[in-house]
Amino acid sequence: MVLLRQLLGDVLRRLRVRQARTLREVSTLARVSLGYLSEVERGQKEASSELLASICGALGVPLSQVLREVSDQFALAELQHAPVLADVPEHERLPIPDSVSTTISGPEFEGFPEVKDMVAA
């Protein structure tokens, strides 16, 4: 069974680590306790939408980008019948884009081509 809180925590942690930022720095900027942020990143606590928005603000990424990554990972895990993301090696996870496109249009955006491409690979 795929656990949403673990997928979300993993995405948040990877974003923070990619930015070379500490838990303390992000927790201070997000105005959340260091311990609670750590539990969210480890998938032990469910984060409210307000808390997620605050963490995303501290990381400087749109909440929509985080949710899109979580959704893609969730779909991939379901397609691969993976029990949890923690069991999926880093090289098999979808990358987190450095920037977010502001336009989504055209025939190439039918469904989720990223997931289809990964399953086909």
List pLDDT tens digits, range 98-117: 554 444 444 443 444 454 45
pLDDT in tens, 45-68: 999 999 999 999 999 999 999 999
* Paired tokens of 18: 């990619």
d(CA 110, CA 102): 17
Confidence at residue 21, expressed as pLDDT on a 0 to 100 scale: 97
Distance from C-alpha of 54 to C-alpha of 29, rounded to nearest angstrom: 8
Residue whose C-alpha is closest to residue 72's, from 19, 8, 14: 8
- pLDDT of residue 119 exceeding 60, the answer is no
- Per-residue pLDDT at 81: 73
Confidence band for 97, pLDDT divided at 50, 70 and 90: low
Question: For the chain, what percent of residues have pLDDT higher than 70?
Answer: 66
- List, for residues 14-34, the tens digit of each pLDDT value: 999 999 999 999 999 999 999
Q: Where are the alpha helices (DSSP H) in the chain?
A: 4-18, 23-30, 34-41, 49-59, 63-80, 113-120
Containing 20, the helix (H) or strand (E) segment is none
Q: How far apart are CA 57 and CA 12, in angstroms?
A: 12
